[in-house]
């Protein structure tokens, strides 16, 4: 499919793309690019066979590459675009894996004036609490959602090729408007991470925290699992998508206020109905997930 793939940022996602692309025979050569401080991680990636080679010079990394994947945190994507601008090739396809797409589009417009037609924004909805290339696996995207968010001038040929690439990595690909993507992910991913971080932060600051965590059962562990995620990455994601997240936080505060009032007024019937509706809504989600 591609002769040479350049992966900018060979961490969990970038490394997993490289592993899966190699496993499925989707390229002949994979080169990684990172900064000086990433050199040890890049050496590890090469030693593990995740990439064929790496370089700390971006011009060397993208040379002769026909697919360039930007797999860095969303806050760094504008800087990456600025570095890529003088090296941009009309014959290559560029894509990213950022969890927010509006910020990627805005970054491209600031750097290039208009989003290049061979840039295909994408977001694999897959991950893990661990980070770095040692956490990468070749089946991370198997049966996971992947959303492509082209803009008006995006090349249909480039979109089709990136869609085919991800499908061969095992992903279930959807094409979606940028704003809808950011709204959906704010509700289903970004807000839940904020909730997990906030709950653990609150309990962790209590004086009796050792007693609290000592008696925490599996439900607490399951609910707060995502609070083990990379704080830097999630700081960047939340900042990039705050316009979608803040209204959801306001709605959630209203829901918590409602439950508080039900408890204060001993309205057990309405509390039961609220919990029942939530349980049934979750079951509808599980049924839909299983059917897909």
Q: Supply 179's token pair.
A: 């704003």
Provide the pLDDT for residue 209.
62
CATH class entry, domain 2-176: alpha beta
Provide the pLDDT for residue 130.
74
Residue 126 Cα to chain centre, angstroms: 7
Helix or strand run (H / E) with residue 145: strand 145-148
Provide the pLDDT for residue 47.
95
Q: How far apart are CA 249 and CA 274, in angstroms?
A: 19
The CATH-assigned architecture of domain 181-291 is: Orthogonal Bundle (1.10)
Q: What residues have CB less than 8 Å from 116, skipping those under 6 apart?
A: 88, 94, 108
Provide the pLDDT for residue 210.
67
SS3 210: helix
Provide the pLDDT for residue 183.
97
| Domain limits, the chain | 2-176, 181-291
Provide the pLDDT for residue 206.
77
| Angle of the 178-185 helix axis to the 102-112 helix axis, nearest 10 | 140
Provide the pLDDT for residue 207.
61
Beta sheet of 27-33, edge-to-edge order: 53-55, 27-33, 2-8, 67-70, 93-96, 119-120
Provide the pLDDT for residue 286.
85
Q: How far apart are CA 150 and CA 159, in angstroms?
A: 7
Residues in the chain with pLDDT values less than 70: 129, 207-210, 289-292
For 163-186, write each residue's pLDDT tens digit.
Answer: 999 999 999 999 999 999 999 999
Q: How far apart are CA 42 and CA 132, in angstroms?
A: 10
Provide the pLDDT for residue 285.
86
Provide the pLDDT for residue 214.
79
Provide the pLDDT for residue 107.
97
**How many CA atoms are closer than 13 Å to the CA of 233, on its beta-carbon side?**
22
């Amino acid at each position: 499919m591609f002769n040479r793939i350049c992966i900018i940022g060979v961490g969990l996602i970038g490394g997993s793309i490289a592993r899966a692309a190699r496993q499925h025979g989707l390229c002949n050569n994979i080169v990684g690019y990172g900064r000086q401080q990433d050199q040890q991680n890049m050496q590890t990636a090469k030693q593990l066979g995740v990439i064929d080679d790496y370089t700390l010079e971006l011009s060397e990394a993208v040379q002769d590459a026909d697919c360039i994947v930007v797999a860095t945190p969303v806050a760094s994507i504008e800087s990456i675009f600025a570095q890529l601008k003088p090296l941009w090739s009309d014959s290559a396809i560029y894509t990213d894996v950022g969890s927010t797409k509006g910020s990627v589009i805005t970054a491209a417009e600031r750097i290039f004036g208009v989003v290049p037609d061979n840039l295909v924004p994408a977001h694999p909805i897959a991950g893990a609490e661990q980070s770095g290339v040692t956490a990468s696996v070749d089946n991370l995207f198997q049966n996971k959602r992947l959303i492509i968010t082209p803009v008006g001038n995006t090349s249909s040929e480039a979109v089709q090729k990136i869609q085919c690439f991800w499908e061969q990595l095992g992903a279930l690909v959807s094409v979606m408007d940028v704003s809808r993507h950011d709204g959906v992910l704010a509700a289903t991913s970004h807000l839940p991470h904020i909730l997990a971080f906030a709950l653990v932060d609150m309990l962790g600051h209590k004086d009796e925290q050792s007693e609290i965590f000592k008696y925490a059962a599996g439900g607490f562990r399951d609910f707060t699992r995502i609070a083990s995620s990379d704080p830097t990455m999630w700081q960047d994601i939340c900042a990039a998508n705050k316009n979608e997240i803040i209204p959801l936080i306001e709605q959630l505060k209203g829901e918590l206020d409602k439950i508080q009032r039900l408890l204060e007024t001993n309205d057990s019937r309405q509390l039961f109905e609220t919990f029942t509706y939530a349980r049934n809504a979750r079951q509808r989600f599980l049924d839909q997930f299983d059917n897909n």
